[in-house]
Amino acid sequence: MRIAELSRSTGVPAPTIKYYLREGLLPPGERTSRNQAQYDERHVRRIKLVRALVEVGGLSIATARDVLARMDAPEHGLLTSLGKVQFAMSTPPSATVEDEVWDEAVRRVDELIERRGWRSVPSNPARKTLASVLATLQRLGQTDKLDLLDSYADAAERIVDDEIEVLLRRPDLDSLAEGLVVWIALGDVMFSALRRIAQESAATPRLPDSGEAPGGTSADADDSGTGPEGPAPES
């Protein structure tokens, strides 16, 4: 098929397809003349994957190109590809304040990984991202959130175990490699969306919505018993 047919098959405008070709997101078609090329179902599938990564997964064009190049690298096994794709999609904090709080956060991350028996190389950027979150919570005084670290880890472990099982049902290596990319990019988005829906559901019957603080007291009241309406009447 030509560009126009490829556009109709994917719903992507021809100029966008040409842009994908220029940016290296799509492999070139088979040349039939100086200005013409033929495309096939592989290009249809790749365009759909690119759109998923960019429009749903939120990847930049540059990151999507890097991820696809790593996915296509024939010399890499699946485990190596997983690491390379995951690293390419990770955006650890660009700057960190390396003080005692930071050192404590890094120690917490290292201890979590060791305690749970996880296999994680020290260079995994997700470790720095997690440490940055923990350090930020500490600096904000939100230390009760730190007590939930193992609960988060339990949820992540359970989901990833199921994801691996589903991924291994793929019929061939090409499908496995593509599934790996989709799993990493869209899995994060899906889990985040589900968590927000679950937050709404769990919070609705349990959190006050009328200016009352948890426990049924007025959020504006203070310890003296004086609220927004003045002193409470004596009984």
Range of the structural domain that residue 66 is part of: 3-87
Q: Is the pLDDT assigned to residue 230 strictly greater than 80?
A: no
Total structural domains within the chain: 2
Q: Is the pLDDT assigned to residue 163 strictly greater than 80?
A: yes
Average pLDDT (144-166) is 94
pTM of the model: 0.76
For the domain that residue 12 is a member of, what is the CATH number? 1.10.1660.10
Assigned domain for 230 exists:
no
> Considering 42, 69, 87, which residue would you say is the last residue of a domain?
87
Nearest Cα residue to 129 out of 81, 158, 76, 93? 93
Assigned domain for 226 exists:
no
Which segments of the chain are extended strands (E)? 30-33, 36-38, 212-213, 217-218, 226-227, 230-231
Residue pair 26/43 in contact (Cβ under 8 Å)? The answer is yes
The percent of residues above 90 in pLDDT, for the chain, comes to 57
Residue 12's Cβ-side half-sphere holds a number of Cα atoms within 13 Å equal to 21
23-71 pLDDT, tens per residue? 999 999 998 888 889 999 999 999 999 999 999 988 899 999 988 888 8
166 and 184 inside one domain: yes
Q: Is the pLDDT assigned to residue 228 strictly greater than 50?
A: no
Q: What is the pLDDT of residue 55?
A: 92
37 and 97 inside one domain: no
Assigned domain for 103 exists:
yes
DSSP state letter for 2: -
At 213, give phi and psi (nearest 5°). Answer: -80, 160
Cα–Cα distance, 60 to 50 (Å, whole number): 10
Average pLDDT (100-116) is 96
Q: What is the pLDDT of residue 213?
A: 52
61 and 128 inside one domain: no
Q: What is the pLDDT of residue 215?
A: 55
Nearest Cα residue to 120 out of 147, 87, 159, 166? 87
Residue pair 161/149 in contact (Cβ under 8 Å)? The answer is no
- Confidence band of 214 (pLDDT split at 50, 70, 90): low
> Considering 70, 87, 104, which residue would you say is the last residue of a domain?
87
173 and 76 inside one domain: no
198 and 103 inside one domain: yes
> Considering 63, 87, 111, which residue would you say is the last residue of a domain?
87
78 and 133 inside one domain: no
